[in-house]
């Protein structure tokens, strides 16, 4: 692949074989993601056309906003599998969750009411405005329960600004990092894009995910990235094969 031959490289040209998308909102009507099963099926079919064989979709679990129970998520997942089967869409769809590090999560982790992302991994997020005051206590409970937390889109946490040492401290405390691919496209603005590129350059990301909520976001993702970063993003995406 000649990444320097074009200004932007479409995603289809560098998405690695075996890539598993491990962050999306494709279960209808339970968070700010897709509204109908048909919207979901359409996006999943587009992923299939890119060569994606497996998607782990991760609806929000957030106190007072989307307090989705494990039962609700599993039920919606079962419903979606039936739709995909009827449409002959062959992508493997697994369901987990994106857990906000709030009081509801604290209770569920202690009660072991968690749907793992894969084996020992769970996907978690923080408020984009400030970290939880009991972050160390929550992290202790996560480890005590036998899980490894993957922190979704750290580049979007404005309170860390671009202080690379803050991100290194987070990683040393036990978090893995997941890049939102849309961040590098500039979808969330130049500030987030610049932090994302800095973390990418410093090799601080462990995985990548689309975080797709709707077809408009998928279209942005599909356009790809500048040639300068396409190769590095492709290498990062290969790490998602461990979720196969």
pLDDT of residue 31: 98
User: Residue 5 is encoded by which pair of tokens?
Assistant: 């031959």
Position 228 confidence tier, pLDDT thresholds 50, 70, 90? confident
pLDDT of residue 158: 86
pLDDT of residue 111: 92
Q: Is pLDDT at 91 greater than 90 in this prediction?
A: yes
pLDDT of residue 6: 53
3-state class of 183 per DSSP?
A: helix
Residues forming a β-bridge with 94: 56
Q: Is pLDDT at 2 greater than 70 in this prediction?
A: no
Q: Which of 30-34, 106-110, 159-163, 192-196 is least confident? A: 159-163
**Which residue matches tokens 């072991």?**
112
pLDDT of residue 7: 73
CA 90 – CA 204 distance, rounded (Å): 33
Nearest to 175 by CA among 204, 133, 198, 196: 204
3-state class of 147 per DSSP?
A: coil
Which sign does the torsion angle of CA 39, 45, 49, 54 carry?
positive
Q: Is pLDDT at 115 greater than 60 in this prediction?
A: yes
Write b or e for each residue in 78-100: b if 16 or more Cβ atoms lie within 10 A of its Cβ, otherwise e.
Answer: eebeebbeeeeeeeebbbbbbbb
Which whole number is the average pLDDT over 46-58?
A: 97
Which whole number is the average pLDDT over 165-181?
A: 96
3-state class of 168 per DSSP?
A: helix
Which whole number is the average pLDDT over 156-166?
A: 89
124 CB contacts (<8 Å, ≥6 apart)?
98, 99, 100, 101, 105, 142, 149, 150, 151, 152
Q: Which of 1-10, 49-58, 84-93 is least confident? A: 1-10
Domains of the chain and any CATH numbers: 3-243 (3.20.20.140)
Surface-to-core class of residue 125, CB atoms within 10 Å of its CB (0-12 exposed, 13-18 middle, 19+ buried): buried
Q: Is pLDDT at 3 greater than 70 in this prediction?
A: no
> What Cα–Cα distance (Å) separates residue 30 from each residue in 13, 34, 76, 121?
33, 9, 9, 22
């Amino acid at each position: 692949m000649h990444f320097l031959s074009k200004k932007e490289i479409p995603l289809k040209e560098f998405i690695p074989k075996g890539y598993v998308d491990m962050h999306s909102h494709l279960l209808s009507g339970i968070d700010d993601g897709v509204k109908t099963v048909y919207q979901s099926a359409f996006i999943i079919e587009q992923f299939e056309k890119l060569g994606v064989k497996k998607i782990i979709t991760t609806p929000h679990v957030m106190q007072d906003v989307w307090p989705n129970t494990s039962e609700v998520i599993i039920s919606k997942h079962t419903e979606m599998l039936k739709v995909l089967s009827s449409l002959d869409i062959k992508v493997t769809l697994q369901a987990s969750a994106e857990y906000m590090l709030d009081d509801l999560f604290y209770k569920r982790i202690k009660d072991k009411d968690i749907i793992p992302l894969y084996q020992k991994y769970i996907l978690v997020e923080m408020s984009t405005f400030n970290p939880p005051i009991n972050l160390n206590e929550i992290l202790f409970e996560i480890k005590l329960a036998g899980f490894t937390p993957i922190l979704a889109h750290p580049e979007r946490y404005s309170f860390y600004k671009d202080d690379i040492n803050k991100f290194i401290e987070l990683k040393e405390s036990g978090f893995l990092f997941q890049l939102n691919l849309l961040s590098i496209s500039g979808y969330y603005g130049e500030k987030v894009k610049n932090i994302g590129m800095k973390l990418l350059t410093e090799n601080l990301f462990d995985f990548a995910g689309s975080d797709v909520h709707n077809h408009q976001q998928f279209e942005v993702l599909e356009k790809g990235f500048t040639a300068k970063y396409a190769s590095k993003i492709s290498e990062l995406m290969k790490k998602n094969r461990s979720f196969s």
